Amino acid sequence: MKSPENSLSLMTRKTFLRAAAVFSANALSLEMGSAQPPTEPLEKAASEPSPVTLENAQWQLGLKPGEGLKALVVHKPSGIVLAQGDYSYSIGTPSFGEPEERHDSKTKTVTLKGAIPGGLELQHEFKITADQPWVEEQITLSNRGTAVQALPYGRCGFVLPVTLEAGAVVGPMRDFKVTAVPYRREPNGNRTQYADYTIGQVLSEPRSSRLRAQTLLERSGNVVLTAVHGSGFIQTLYPFYASEGWILTDGRRGFLLTKYSRHGMEWALLDRTPVDEGRAGFRWGGFGIFQGDPEHGAWLAPQQTHRFGITRITAFEGGIDEGFYTFRAEMETRGHGCPKGFNPPVHWNELYDNKLYWLPGMDLPENRKKYYTLADMKDEAAKARDMGCEALYLDPGWDTRFASKIWDESRLGKLKDFTAMLRQEYGLSLSLHTPLSGWCDPSTYSRTMDRMNRDGSRVEKSLCGASAQYVEETRSRLEALARDGARFFMFDGTMHNGECWDPEHSHRVPSGREEHVEATNRLARLVHAKYPEALIEMHDQLLGGTYLRYVPTYYGQGWGGRGEEATNSAGFDSVWGFELMWDPMTDLVGGHSIALYYYNLAYSLPLYLHIDLRKDNAHCLMFWWNASTCRHLGIGGSHTDPQVRRAQKEAMATYRRLETFFKAGTFYGLDEMVHVHVHPTEPAAVINCFNLEDHAVNRRIEFALGKLGLEANGSYQVKGATARRTEDRYILEVAVAGYGHSLIELRGA
């Protein structure tokens, strides 16, 4: 007999009912969430399926299938109930058969299959592991009928009945708030924007978010023109609260809710559903079609099946920060982390000093001849070497036509010679801007790769990013560049041009967002199959280079596993830093760049960003912020003030000396302005302290060594701050100049 904590055996109905009573402060039962009379007995009728319970040290999940499903989710250590009563189905009520159980060493899986009138079949899979603090759920829908099933508003989920008084939650969830992860700060949000909500808000208000769309205003004197004039309807208020993950916490304990899918874009959704007169239902988990995604789950052809993503609820101790770290650990175990020993070359980007990009009507052939010559690139390579960079990054201008991705020999000589020259004369590797179908001059591509309208006509010079022909041609061009020495590709121009109806393109007809995003991800895997050492940076695969984010950050990253992809190689290496490259100082002081801080709490999957050094100050505030938050860093632009240039060069020397901490270390946030980077293999850490105020401040920084993964009893030399030690804690005092930065080093003595 296993210990009760590890027992995954099916509890008897009696034990289950007793457990349910034990974990409840108010005599809960599976029935209470429903509108049915509470006196209804929980007796199993002869024809009814058996109730079943999954349990580990953290969770108890009670399920009673029948006509629909009654579900109870209890966090055992606190007795907090997260779901109770009728599971919610917007697509009709399934009639479930007998549960199937599978035991696999420490893991127990329960499968419920139910038919829904009208031809749908719904399958639930619930999973619990003895020594993990989570429960998982996954839904599969199958169309067993002969007609198409359209489910554009499909939504299923657990329901927590909640009593509200004056808009506020009463009961054990009273002090809980929900926080979006990773985009607690949206990259276009200011210093007051936090994606934090009360449960009362989720139950009663639409979510306002500018993560995937924003209404821009054009001002000309007193005249204001909104962007809808050019773009059509823009949505920023959503009935669903959608995020890669949600942290529910009262500051002492919490629950992380995530949705993870590799085949179809999905988000963890929070919303509401009626329960009874006195209570509202807080709905989570299950699946939901959010603005049409996942597209392949929203419309099911006859005999088609769609498996939705995995919902996981994980218990953790602590508040929002611990919730973020729980998310980061989950994504790392799913394969979306920082590779061991990650050591990308620091880029020098020629764009900021290159007149080509800043001229009106910039990228004309005559301007390329004038401003993008071999001599110009040698000048930039000299600057790169002088600043201590490791690679020269060429932004628009190096290819035959914008985004042709064909090296322009007429201006720059042979690529092989160019990369040899960079290596031998400047000690640099070569990195390239390689925009895709959404931002390009498509003249060098065949017009058969253009998108097709429904009537069979072409959308002239609008490439279909999902077409097999386009992917194949682009792969071959990228491989030619890699063969001759290019070591980094930036997948910019990833915007979705729109649907395509060409049956010759080897994609679903019409193709949608999913086909475009999937093909973009596939391209990275195809290049890696032949050139695994090439680094590939990925912009948002739908919106491109923007302050916005649509596609789930991890989507298409990591190793491909599906047989039909036939490219079982690594996906992209880094995520684009949300276009915070043009005015990084304003972005930082205004609050946009604080999105990078939260990103690092949520993901060790590297960010790539290059920044315009011309916008920095003598404290190198902007340089250090981006060095601290972007594991792959690029810089460029010569500051007009020689004193600032000198300071930047010194900062770069320090950065290079400590680069392992920043590129491959573990990031901890003590707060938005204090970032700790723990060395991946040595007992050492560096701390970046920032000050966004206009006056100097003295910061008192207190931390427990153990919480940062450092030896709690170890002794450390501290450089850059006065330090006091109390048992396992350090208390540091450090002065930080107005709009300034201070660096502290900790080394095991």
In the set 80, 500, 580, 601, which binds Zn ion (CB under 5 A)? Answer: 500
Of 273-281, 505-513, 525-533, 723-731, the window that binds Zn ion (rule: CB under 5 A) is 505-513
Compute how many other C-beta atoms are within 10 angstroms of the C-beta atom of residue 529. Answer: 16
**Judged by CB under 5 A, does residue 515 bind Zn ion?**
no
Closest CA to 72 of 80, 81, 268: 81
State in angstroms the smallest separation of the CB of 467 from Zn ion. Answer: 4
Partners of residue 677 on adjacent β-strands:
667, 686
Q: Where are the alpha helices (DSSP H) in 335-467?
A: 355-358, 365-371, 374-387, 409-412, 415-421
Asked if residue 525 lies in contact with residue 571, where contact means CB atoms within 8 angstroms, the answer is yes
Pick between residue 137 and residue 518 the one whose CB is nearest to Zn ion. 518
**Judged by CB under 5 A, does residue 467 bind Zn ion?**
yes
- φ, ψ of residue 147 to 5 degrees: the values are -110, 155
Tell me the C-alpha distance between 98 and 82, whole Å. 25
Please, which of residues 379-408 interact with Zn ion by CB under 5 A?
A: none
Pick between residue 464 and residue 471 the one whose CB is nearest to Zn ion. 464
In the set 86, 293, 330, 502, which binds Zn ion (CB under 5 A)? Answer: 502
State in angstroms the smallest separation of the CB of 401 from Zn ion. Answer: 22
Pick between residue 100 and residue 504 the one whose CB is nearest to Zn ion. 504
State in angstroms the smallest separation of the CB of 470 from Zn ion. Answer: 8
Pick between residue 499 and residue 745 the one whose CB is nearest to Zn ion. 499
Contacts (Cβ under 8 Å, ≥6 apart) of 736 = 689, 690, 691, 696, 697, 698, 699, 742
Instruction: Tell me the one-letter amino acid at 464.
Output: C
State in angstroms the smallest separation of the CB of 444 from Zn ion. Answer: 18
Pick between residue 171 and residue 498 the one whose CB is nearest to Zn ion. 498
**Judged by CB under 5 A, does residue 497 bind Zn ion?**
no
Of 248-256, 461-469, 531-539, 736-744, the window that binds Zn ion (rule: CB under 5 A) is 461-469
Task: Dig out the tokens for 555 from the structure.
Answer: 């989507």
In the set 159, 265, 384, 464, which binds Zn ion (CB under 5 A)? Answer: 464
State in angstroms the smallest separation of the CB of 502 from Zn ion. Answer: 4
Pick between residue 125 and residue 515 the one whose CB is nearest to Zn ion. 515
**Judged by CB under 5 A, does residue 499 bind Zn ion?**
no
State in angstroms the smallest separation of the CB of 624 from Zn ion. Answer: 45
Task: Dig out the tokens for 648 from the structure.
Answer: 């930047």
State in angstroms the smallest separation of the CB of 358 from Zn ion. Answer: 35
Burial track 660-682 (b if 16+ CB lie within 10 A, e otherwise): bbbbbbbbbbbeebbbbbbbbee
Pick between residue 505 and residue 741 the one whose CB is nearest to Zn ion. 505
Tell me the C-alpha distance between 69 and 382, whole Å. 68
Q: Cα separations (Å) of 35 from 32, 86, 584?
A: 8, 9, 54
State in angstroms the smallest separation of the CB of 463 from Zn ion. Answer: 9
Pick between residue 57 and residue 509 the one whose CB is nearest to Zn ion. 509
Residue 50's H or E segment, with its range, is none
Q: Find out whether the peptide bond into 187 is cis, omega within 30 degrees of 0.
A: no
Of 270-278, 353-361, 492-500, 673-681, the window that binds Zn ion (rule: CB under 5 A) is 492-500
| Radius of gyration over every alpha carbon of the chain, rounded to an integer in angstroms | 28
In the set 75, 347, 505, 610, which binds Zn ion (CB under 5 A)? Answer: 505
Tell me the C-alpha distance between 596 and 603, whole Å. 10
Total interface residues for Zn ion by CB under 5 A: 5
Maximum alpha-carbon separation in the chain: 86
Task: Dig out the tokens for 553 from the structure.
Answer: 């950050």
Pick between residue 502 and residue 579 the one whose CB is nearest to Zn ion. 502
Compute how many other C-beta atoms are within 10 angstroms of the C-beta atom of residue 563. Answer: 7
State in angstroms the smallest separation of the CB of 740 from Zn ion. Answer: 52
Tell me the C-alpha distance between 334 and 273, whole Å. 31
Please, which of residues 26-45 interact with Zn ion by CB under 5 A?
A: none
**Judged by CB under 5 A, does residue 514 bind Zn ion?**
no
Q: Which residues bind Zn ion (CB under 5 A)?
A: 464, 467, 500, 502, 505
